[in-house]
Structure formats: C-alpha cells, structure tokens
Amino acid sequence: MTTRWFEMKRQDVIDKLGTCPEKGLAEHQAKERLEQIGPNKLLSSERKPPWKMLLDQFKDFMVLVLIAATFISGMLGEWADAVTIMIIVIVNAILGFVQEFRAEKSMEALKALTAPEALVVREGVERKIPAADLVPGDIVLLDTGDKVPADLRLLAIANLEIEESALTGESFPVKKRVENMAGETEVSLGDTRNMAYMGTVVVRGRGKGVIVDTGMHTEMGHITRMIQEAEEDQTPLQRRLDQLGRVLVAFCLLVCALVVVLGILRGEPIYHMFLAGVSLAVAAIPEGLPAIVTIALAIGVQRMIKRNAIIRRLPAVETLGCATVICSDKTGTLTENQMTVREILVGNSHVSVTGEGYDPKGEFRFDGVKGSEFSTFLKCAALCNNAKLTKGEISVGGIFRNLTKGNLSNVWGIAGDPTEGALMVMAAKGKVWRKDLENEEQRLLELPFDSIRKRMSVVYQDAKGQLTTYVKGAPDVMLDLCTHIYKDGRVIQLSDQARREILKKNSEMAQGALRVLALAYRNIEGVASEEDLTEEKVEQKLVFLGLAGMIDPPRPSAVHSIQACRRAGIRTVMITGDHQLTAQAVGKELGLLPRGAKVLTGTQLDQLDDNELQHEAEQTTVYARVTPKHKLRIVRALKRNGHIVAMTGDGVNDAPAVKEADIGIAMGKAGTDVTKEASAMVLADDNFSTIAAAIEEGRGIYDNIRKFIRYLLSCNVGEVLTMFLAVLMGMPLPLLPIQILWMNLVTDGLPAMALGVDPVEKDIMYRRPRDPQESVFSHGLGMRIMSTGVIFAIGTLLAFAVGLMLGQVDLARTMAFNTLVFFQLFFVFSCRSERHSIAEVGLFGNPHLVSAVLISASLQLAVNYIGFLQPIFHTVPLELKHWVIILSIAILPQILGIIGKVIKDRAKERIMYIKA
C-alpha cells in the first residue's frame, strides 16, 4: 500500500524516513540508500549497444554490394581479391564504428554535464549534487525557478507556489502549505498542497522538503507521462549534407555506370568492369561525411566544455558562428559577482566600509554622528536575507579562486545570492549575526524578491509577540512605500526634501558604479493571525533606514572579450535591472558606451512601440532598469533587424527571452532549472568570456567541416574523373578495383578524421559573422573542389602515360596509383585553411594530421614493397626515377598554390598602396 505522506505530521514523516530536518542525512546513509533503491531516474530508452553499432556499419547499400562482389570473386577463383576486399570492408566498418562510438560517448558526457542538480542539506552543509544521487530522507531546498527533483513532503515554505501542469494538467500555480491533511479520504493529486512532485516547477517563493520517493516510485514515474529522453535531431548542417549526399550518390552512380558501360563496349571483361564500377562508387560516394560531421560536432562540443561552455542542443554549435549580437546580463557575467558594500547612507551619516570580498573583517568610517538607526540598519540587512556566510567550505557562492591563498579552513565564502552575501558580510563587520538574532526572534513570513516587485520582505516576531517587517529593494521602489524615516534616533515624517536628498545620494552612488539597495522596516500592529500578513499589510507605511552601495567590479577578461567580439563583427549589449547611472558607469568601464551614447531604461522602453524599439535597438548597447518582459521585446526587435541574437538569462522569468533568442544562454551557477531547460547553451562559470570562447569554437567547428568537405569531395572527384577520362580516351584502366578500395581506406580515413580536430585559426575572430543561410559551398568552395579534382585526374593520367612509355601496364598503374594517393596526402595540408597557405598555417600545426598522413603513407609504401602484398594490389617495386616523377607531379599543385597566394597578396598590397 502506498504511504499517504500528506496525511502524516511533519515529525512523523521525519521519524519514518530516519533523517534530520536541520542536518539531513549523513553521507554513509545516503550511499547505503542509493545502493538499495537505485538512482533517482525515470526509465529511459536504451542506448544502442556497441555490437549493434558495429553491425549497422554493414547495412550500407554500397557495403552490401561489395560483400556480394567478394562472393562473386571467390566463385570465380579470385581468392586474393575476395579476401582483400573483405578485409578493407571490415577495416572501413571498424573506422565507422569508432567514429560513431566516440560521438555517442561525447553526447553521453554532454548529457551528464547538463543533468539536473539539487540543493540538499547533508551533514549540516548545503551542497549541490546530481539529482540522480538523491535518496528518500534527503532534505532538499527549493527556490524560484527550480525543477522539483523528486517527490517531497514540505517541511517549511516562504510564499511557495509550484506549477504542476506537467503532472495534473492544471495551468495555474498551486500555493503550498506545510500542515498535514489528516482525515481527508478523497484527495486528488492537485489537492495535496503539502507535497511537491518530481518534474514540477517552483514559480514563486522558497521551500524546504524531505524526499519521500525517487525515480520510478514517484508520481511522475507512476504516470509515466514524462519522456526522459527524446531522439537526437540532426542539425541544419547535417540535414543539408544528407541532401547533398543523396545528390552526390545519384551523380556518382550515374558516372560509374557510364564508366562500366563504356569499358564493356570497349572490350573489357564484364566481371572486371563490374568490380571497377562498384569500387569506384565506393570511393566516390563520401559515405564517411555524415560520420565525420558528427564526430567534428561532438569533439567541438567537448572542446567547448573544457572552456566552460556546455552545449545542450547541437544546432547551437552552428548558430554560434553566425551570432551578430550578444545580449548579456551585467551581474556575474560581465562583472565578478563578488559584491562588497563600500558606502552607506544612514541617518545623518555617510559611512565608508573597508574590507575585501566575503571576509567579515573591516570597519565603518563615519562622516557624521553614529546614531541608533545604524544598528537597526545592520539588523535589517541581516534578517531580510537568505544568504549564509561559510568558512572552510566550498559554498554555492564560490571560493575556488582563494584556495591557493592559504588554508581552506580560513577561507570565507557565501552560500546564496552575492548581493545578499554582501549585506550579510556588512552586518557581520558590525558584529550583527542572523543566527544570534534568530535566537530571540522567529521568522513568520517571507515575500521573496522578484524582478517585478524589486524588493524582498520578511516578518519576524520577538519574544514579546511584537511583529516587525524588514524590507530591502530598489531605492525608487522603496521610497514609494516609505512614509517615515529613522533619523537622529527618532522616527519622523519623510518629507519631500528628504526624498529628494535620498534620490540625489542614490544617483551619486550609482554614478560611481555602485549597486544601491534601500533598507526599511515597520512595526506591525493589529494583526490577529498569520493569515492577515498579506503583501499589502506588511509593505506599507515603511520607515526608511538607509542606502547600501556595493561594488561588483567588471571582469578584466570581459573587457578583452568585448573587444574581441567587436573585431569579429559582433555587438555586445548589456542588459541590467540596476539603476541607469550604475549601468552607465559599468558600461563605460567595459567599453560598451562610446561618447554621446545613451542608456535606455525600462520606463523608456514602455513608451516605445515595436517599430520605434526596432530602430532604437540598432543603436543601443546598454539597457537599465529592465524586466524580463523588456528582454523579450529587445530580442524580438533585434531579430526583426536581421540579427542572430545570443541572450543570457538566469531567473525563471528570463526563460521566454532565452528561448526566443537564436542562441539562448543560461547561467550554470546562478541559473534556474527552467532557464537552463529553455537554453541551448549553459555557462559553467557564468562568465561573458566563455560566450566569446564558445563563438570562437563554433566558428572553428564549421571551418573544420568545410575543410574535410573540401578534402573528401576533391579526392573523390579526382578518382572518378581519372577513370572516366581514361575510358573516354581509350586508355587501359589506370586503376584496378582493389587499388581504388585501398586508396579510399588510406586517404579518406585517418587524414579526414584528423582535419575534424584541426585547431582554430588564429584570425578566426577577425572575420565577420557567417550568414546562416549560406551554402556549404559558398565563397568558391564548389569551384575549388572541381578544379582540384580535374588537376588530380590530369596529373594521375600523366603519370600513367609516362609509366606506359617506361614499361608495362603494371608499372603505369603502380605509378598512377601512388600519384593519386600522394596527391591526396599532400593536398590534405592545403585543406587546413581556405585563407592561408601551408607556410602560413604551419606544416606541423596539427600533430594528429601529421601522424595520420605518416601512417597512410607508410601503408601505401607497404603495398608497393612488401612481397606478398604486391600480387594482391597488382603493384611493382618503384625505382628512384619513378618516385621523382610521382612526387614532382603530386606536389606541384601545392607549390603552385603557394606561388599564387604570394602573387595575390602582393597584388592586394599594391592596390592598398595606390589607394593610400
């Protein structure tokens, strides 16, 4: 029988699960339960096993034709050909399996990195762990935007509302409570308000709960409506290449059939021409292209992960190279996200605060008289706060950068929001600690901060029963709620003159790049019950306490990255909820605001229609005082202007703008689960520089795909034209079927794969963004492929003709065979760049490619000089004079390419000199 957790009292639930609401489970308990119950996962579709991957390599039509040709060869007594063809087919299958297996592993690693996490309390310490590691009895903390990781019985809440449509179909959020529901026999799932269920989303408030069920034992598991994993969709580039592949297959089969028919008509044996046609088709059709595109995308994604950019959707890799605008949050992305209070305005005093980071060491320097209002100001900062100061722990706030500075036990950090952390540190510097205050007062209510309200309130009750609300928020919003001010130890009416002075001081602090928050309080009278503590009741007629100005310095790396993006033709736009003057000061420090440029505020945005905003969006680089709705309008305006937009976000309300953007980017540390799910990319370090690095890698991946398209198709065109022209000119076949198959193996395998991991070109961020609609053959790539194939064919036939003049047809074929192979092995180095010569990019810039070419060249030499291989591949040993001819022809295109590049560059310089 299923336990009816919602009927039980909180303490009974805790006792039954053997846990502690304050300290949670011990690590050894959690480990034992995880072994007994299993991971907190829903059943998902099984991944394709390796053996099936290997078998699938033999399902290709051309491979099946080759296998049939093997049997025909055996029946005709051509055992050497049959065995060799079979070996080549198997080796090709193994290469394809390795490519697919590596891609699959890369995708699995990516999914592990993007797996949901949960904030739990274990052994008294808050920590984030993978949701799969949760067990019954774990104490989980929920915040706005979190996805509930398992089925929970709620223990404590603060204005908690959860959207449960994924489970119940109800579109409205459910307001939660903690009291048990004993005695109610007919209770629907949507009525169990003291429960939170796996897969639902916190849309408001905070909460704490104990896990009662995990994995398939949850309500979501019972209903099985959630599909954990969807089929991997192809990227737009992969789809275009699939279409291209079908066209190429049809074209190649037509040409190969023509070669076979012409050969038979000329008197060649039907069997030999059939085998030649099949071999030529196998060599000509770029069957490795989809696999190499996949591996290039997968390896590129892995490289991005190393640079803290986690790709959630593969199409984002392509879109990154097309980005023209990056819309970025300020706090934590363009700035350090390590807030420190620097200035305070309280009573008649202006106060300077010393100290660095989260270490609660520092002093207050008063420019005026210190009154009793200062202690109330610090008390409000400590109580209207959910952050925690930590010492000797790796906290959510992060202290990794300090680990090298001394003993970990002496390192201070924060768990929670950095802004709240700064206020908590400020209070601690004045010897005011929340844990001491809460020994005498109890929190009854919390009204959480959100981007619409722009404030947070808490209500505390002291031992005498006195209720007090403490509020913090944006100064302009707070002043509208305040009717009095605490000054000179007295609560007096807040005059219009005082309001103007406060706003003036707020502007001065904001101009100094300080983020400013106002603090206020009020003693509440005449409340009969907690139900009467409504938002309207507790947030009116407040007493103004003061302003706290905190600094969040710009990241030095962000300044460099913004400059790099500008060189790359990408405009950076800063969007913040901070005061206009703060945004303006930070924008100038980051180099985003040129002289005369203006900051557009949310209020001004509201006065613009869509057409006016579309015009303003083309010129504005800094927005201030914006809400998530404004973000959505900005993204749409930029997209209407033809931009490819990347948009960052962290809060649940940012999700629509993040989803609307061409490249939605979520914060890995500060981001909510909802925003991460809406995003295409997650920043593991919440750093703007990571976006620039991801764009660089995205451009590099697309470049590498073009590189091996150029290489593969040039080589394949060369092979087809060599056979086709030879038949047209009435020459003997320059290549035998077994030689064509071998060539396909040694040139299209390792070298092509090595191009997929070619390093990013140094000047890649000096180019304009790519047009997302451009063909993969744009910028003359198609013409270069055809011209290279023609050169290969003419050079190979020249070597064949010279061989015929020097001796028998076997020598001529050996020379043609080696010429075409070394044509391709030399040419692969030219494919490393479309803009630079081999000399400029460096011969050894890609060690994987050098190794691949050396291996392929060694294998090619082996079939020439190892005795038992010669009759199989119909080769004869070559002398020095033969190699001089072969290598001279094979390397000639590269030499001509370098000379042509030099002439072209000098012509450009001459034109620029004349213009100057």
Q: Which of 330, 341, 338 is nearest to 509 (CA)?
A: 341
pLDDT tens figures, 209-225: 999 999 888 887 775 54
Q: Which of 316, 324, 322 is nearest to 300 (CA)?
A: 316
> When comparing pLDDT for 906 and 619, which is higher?
619
Structure confidence at residue 605 (pLDDT): 92
Torsion over CA of 331, 333, 334 and 336, rounded to 10 degrees?
Answer: 70
Coil, helix or strand at residue 484: strand
Task: Please tell me the distance from the alpha carbon of residue 577 to that of residue 732, in angstroms, as a whole number.
Answer: 77
Task: Please tell me the distance from the alpha carbon of residue 636 to that of residue 647, in angstroms, as a whole number.
Answer: 11
The answer for residues whose C-beta is within 8 angstroms of residue 247's C-beta and 6 or more apart is none
b/e string for 857-885 if b means 16 or more Cβ within 10 A?
A: eebbeebbeeeebbebbbbbebeeebeeb
Amino acid occupying residue 19: T
Structure confidence at residue 570 (pLDDT): 95
Task: Please tell me the distance from the alpha carbon of residue 403 to that of residue 398, in angstroms, as a whole number.
Answer: 10
The answer for residues whose C-beta is within 8 angstroms of residue 59's C-beta and 6 or more apart is none
CA atoms within 13 A on the CB side of 356: 3
Options 146, 151, 213, 329, the catalytic residue: 329
Pairing of β 364-367 and β 309-311: unpaired
Q: What is the pTM of this model?
A: 0.72
Residue 329 among the catalytic residues:
yes
DSSP label at 234? P
Q: What is the mean pLDDT of the chain?
A: 82
Give the sign of the dihedral formed by CA 631, CA 636, CA 640, CA 645: positive
Among all chains, which residue has been given the structure tokens 């020598």?
Answer: 811
Structure confidence at residue 173 (pLDDT): 80
Q: How far is CA 823 from CA 135, 252, 570, in A?
A: 61, 21, 39
Structure confidence at residue 403 (pLDDT): 35
- Beta bridge mates, 442: 461
The answer for residues whose C-beta is within 8 angstroms of residue 627's C-beta and 6 or more apart is 451, 452, 577, 602, 653
pLDDT tens figures, 811-836: 999 999 999 999 999 999 988 888 88
DSSP label at 532? G
724 has a pLDDT exceeding 70: yes
- Beta bridge mates, 706: none
pLDDT cut 90: percent of the chain above it: 34
Amino acid occupying residue 706: R
pLDDT cut 70: percent of the chain above it: 82
Q: Which of 813, 820, 793, 827 is nearest to 878 (CA)?
A: 813
pLDDT tens figures, 293-331: 766 777 777 788 888 888 877 778 878 888 999 999 887
- Looking at residues 33-40, what average pLDDT do you find? 91
pLDDT tens figures, 123-153: 988 888 988 899 999 999 998 878 899 999 9
Alpha helices in 307-402 (DSSP H): 315-320, 373-383
Tokens of 332: 């934590």
Q: In the structure, what pLDDT confidence band is assigned to residue 406 with cuts at 50, 70 and 90?
A: very low
Q: In the structure, what pLDDT confidence band is assigned to residue 457 with cuts at 50, 70 and 90?
A: very high
617 has a pLDDT exceeding 90: yes
Q: Which of 176, 182, 181 is nearest to 208 (CA)?
A: 176
Lowest mean pLDDT among 362-366, 638-642, 713-717: 713-717
35 has a pLDDT exceeding 80: yes
CB 846 within 8 A of CB 866: no
Alpha helices in 610-687 (DSSP H): 610-617, 628-640, 655-660, 673-678
pLDDT tens figures, 477-531: 999 999 999 988 889 999 999 999 999 999 999 888 888 999 999 998 877 666 7
3-state helix, strand, coil in the chain (%, to 5): 50, 15, 30
Lowest mean pLDDT among 135-139, 381-385, 586-590: 586-590
> When comparing pLDDT for 718 and 253, which is higher?
718
> When comparing pLDDT for 638 and 651, which is higher?
638
Q: In the structure, what pLDDT confidence band is assigned to residue 408 with cuts at 50, 70 and 90?
A: very low
Tokens of 772: 């997302």
How many residues can be counted in the chain? 916
Tokens of 903: 């002439």
Task: Please tell me the distance from the alpha carbon of residue 690 to that of residue 705, in angstroms, as a whole number.
Answer: 22
Structure confidence at residue 678 (pLDDT): 80
Tokens of 174: 């459910």
59 has a pLDDT exceeding 60: yes
